[in-house]
Amino acid sequence: MNNRVALEPKGESSKIQISQDEEVVRKRALTGPSRRAVTVIAVCFSLFQIITGYFPLIAMYQRIIHVAFAFSLIFLLYPISPKQRKDRISWDGIIFVGLLLYISFYVATHFIARAGEVGLEPPMYELFLGGALIFLTLEASRRATGWALAIFCVGSLLYARFGEWLPVVLGHPNYSLERIISGLFMTTEGIYGALTGISATFIFLFVLFGTFMQESGAGNFFFGLASSLFGHIRGGPAKIAVVASSMFGMISGSAIANVSATGQITIPMMKKAGYRAHFAGAVESASSVGGQFMPPVMGGSAFLMMEILGVPYWYICKSVILSAILYYIGIFLIVDLEAVKYNLKGIPKSDCPKLKEVLKEGFHFIIPVAVLVYLLMILHVSMSRAAFWAVVSVPLVAFFRKSTRMSLPQIIRALERGAINFLPIAGVVVACNILVGMITLTGLGLQISSILIEVSGESLLVLLLLTMVASLILGLGLPIIVSYLVLAILVAPGLVQMGVEPIAAHLFIFFFALVSDLTPPVAPGAFVAAGIAGAPMMRTAWMACRLGLVVYLLPYMFVYNNALLLKGSVQSILLSVVTAFIGVYALACGIQGFMVRETKIYERILCFSAAITLIKPGWITDIIGVALLGFVLFVQRPTFFIDLLRRGKSLNQKIARSSEP
């Protein structure tokens, strides 16, 4: 039997459809010579990144070539307007590519000489070339991700040029056009700045790693593993969705790709098992969002956070892992209570893949993830070198079994898809250098932080609420990386100034930026799931918000209790973990309105109250939270504690008898 069939529930589709992500609507579907030309460029792009992952270039050369490859593919693959033909390359794309290549060549041959002329006014033709590069960057971002980021970048340029026209609180002395262009053009603080460096060395290779894992069939293994473990228990299909999405999210880092890949199978399975259509779509949507903060990939944002904070990658993964686990446990508990509430059964055990067979067929797919984690967290090798070995290990371990061996066409397809899937990220990250450059130049970040602290009345809770609202609003119109980056520069310093740990401040912003995939009116992950489920979009989105409610509370939990970031003594961390799990259970009962039986209104309120009191660290609030939850449990099942004592007594007697000679 083919491996891709054996790892999935019997009777279901034998192939997981991998999403091309949000840009699929905008991208051209080329044919003929145009298609072959783009394939060659994309494969060369991936090979360049793999080679330089092991043999790094001088930073500036690496970034120039990286931007040249990425923007060339964007101009060739993405039309200037939706009305253009999408089956062939347009003349505007060829012209833009030619201009980009000339600018790239000029920068590569002149940037060393220009570095020795600091303080001198650049010649006029360089200002024209710099202006052209800024335009190409904005246009590439617009084509790949839409208007929102391009408008923000233009706004930052206008702010830098005409700042004196604004009120004193936001104003600044104007900067000349020459200063703005020269600062963004041929320097490592402009378009070829640190964010482009991260994109060129870390992010691309991690995207390529995820693509190779998908192409090799690892997604089928993770799905089969979840099915064999949880498919047969109550509410099995929904639990498969939760577990499979968490595993798939580890390698994809994209909510929409996650929904499209696993949702094609899990959503019909959930509906067949008796789950309501909108609930099935919401489960898949909420589960997929967690992939964006589930290590190791985290949608690329971890690499930006690492650069801004100046901390190792493993430190960020360590800090976020407990929150990711709590999130998925919360959803898991909610779908379990839903199954109890409506008496929903699992898949017949005979129709589920056997765990032994799944591990036999696909256990080797764990090796690439283990290689990545080992290199990063144990050996502490460089990010690019670890990503290189992770990518290379995928086709090598896939060779272990005949059914998963990657042929040369498959490897080429993975190289091509990896480069093309990366293009929206390139359009975002490179353009963000304009935002960062202008915010740094004008000192806007310090001004905004001071304003927010003053508006909040120096109350940390009020400042956190303001930050949450700002993150949610920005997340409605901007990619997650951008909304995180903007607020990390503008707001995070204010949070740190109020006493919040830097990693907690940045994770707080990051979490509320990513929940935009769940939060109406713009909830792309939920809308894709609704389309698969055939359910109303807004109803699915609001249900996804309910299921993912724990992600709205987690940021407050780790801001007020750093032990959830695995900081502090072992005792404090263990206590925080226990109380956090109890709080998540209380929240799940409150959301579902069900514990042992359906809750009454006052019982539901007590469950929510228990969850909230367990957020704040301290033994008094923990005791109150546990007491509230225990009271509800006692009301619903008075004999629970008596039964618990009897079981404890029986266990002690068995231990005593076994210890007798």
Task: Taking residues 488-508, report their average pLDDT.
Answer: 90
* pLDDT beyond 90 at 68: yes
Average pLDDT score, the chain: 84
Q: What pLDDT score does 50 carry? A: 96
Burial class of residue 393, CB neighbours in 10 A (0-12, 13-18, 19+):
buried
Q: What are phi and psi of 190, to 5 degrees?
A: -110, -135
Residue 239 — very low, low, confident or very high, per pLDDT cuts 50/70/90?
A: confident
Q: Which of 301-315, 396-410, 434-448, 475-489 has the highest mean pLDDT?
A: 396-410
Least confident of 8-17, 118-127, 158-167, 254-263: 8-17
Please say which residue of 198, 228, 248 terminates a domain.
198
Residue 13 — very low, low, confident or very high, per pLDDT cuts 50/70/90?
A: very low
Number of Cβ atoms within 10 Å of the Cβ of 8: 21
**Under 8 Å CB-to-CB from 460, ≥6 apart: which residues?**
498, 499, 500, 559
Q: Tell me if 554 is assigned to some domain.
A: no
Give tens-digit pLDDT for 244-280. Answer: 887 776 666 567 767 876 787 788 888 888 888 998 8
Residue 571 — very low, low, confident or very high, per pLDDT cuts 50/70/90?
A: confident
Please say which residue of 146, 166, 198 terminates a domain.
198
> Crossing angle for the helix pair 147-161 and 480-490, nearest 10 degrees?
30
110 neighbors 119 (Cβ within 8 angstroms): no
Give tens-digit pLDDT for 512-531. Answer: 888 777 777 767 778 888 88
Task: Taking residues 422-429, report their average pLDDT.
Answer: 89
Share of the chain above pLDDT 70, in %: 89
**Under 8 Å CB-to-CB from 167, ≥6 apart: which residues?**
none
Task: Taking residues 454-462, report their average pLDDT.
Answer: 87
Q: What pLDDT score does 423 carry? A: 92
CA torsion through residues 549, 551, 556, 558, sign: positive
User: What does the alpha-carbon distance between residue 342 and residue 620 come to, in Å, rounded to a whole number?
Assistant: 36
Please say which residue of 173, 198, 223 terminates a domain.
198
* pLDDT beyond 90 at 100: yes
The reported pTM is 0.81
Report the number of secondary-structure helices (H) and strands (E) in the chain: 31, 0
Task: Taking residues 493-501, report their average pLDDT.
Answer: 90
Higher pLDDT among residues 86 and 534, named by residue: 534
Give tens-digit pLDDT for 435-455. Answer: 888 988 888 877 887 888 888
247 neighbors 226 (Cβ within 8 angstroms): yes
Q: Tell me if 225 is assigned to some domain.
A: no
Q: What are phi and psi of 311, to 5 degrees?
A: -120, 160
Share of the chain above pLDDT 90, in %: 28
User: What does the alpha-carbon distance between residue 627 and residue 643 come to, in Å, rounded to a whole number?
Assistant: 18
Q: What pLDDT score does 158 carry? A: 94
Q: Tell me if 367 is assigned to some domain.
A: no
Q: Tell me if 612 is assigned to some domain.
A: yes
Segments forming the whole domain that contains residue 102: 31-198
Count of domains for the chain: 2
Q: In terms of DSSP H, where are the helices of 401-459?
A: 408-442, 444-455
| Three-class secondary structure of residue 169 per DSSP | coil
Q: Tell me if 169 is assigned to some domain.
A: yes
Q: Tell me if 445 is assigned to some domain.
A: no
Q: What pLDDT score does 116 carry? A: 66
DSSP string computed for 128-143: HHHHHHHHHHHHHHHH
Give tens-digit pLDDT for 334-350. Answer: 888 888 888 888 888 88
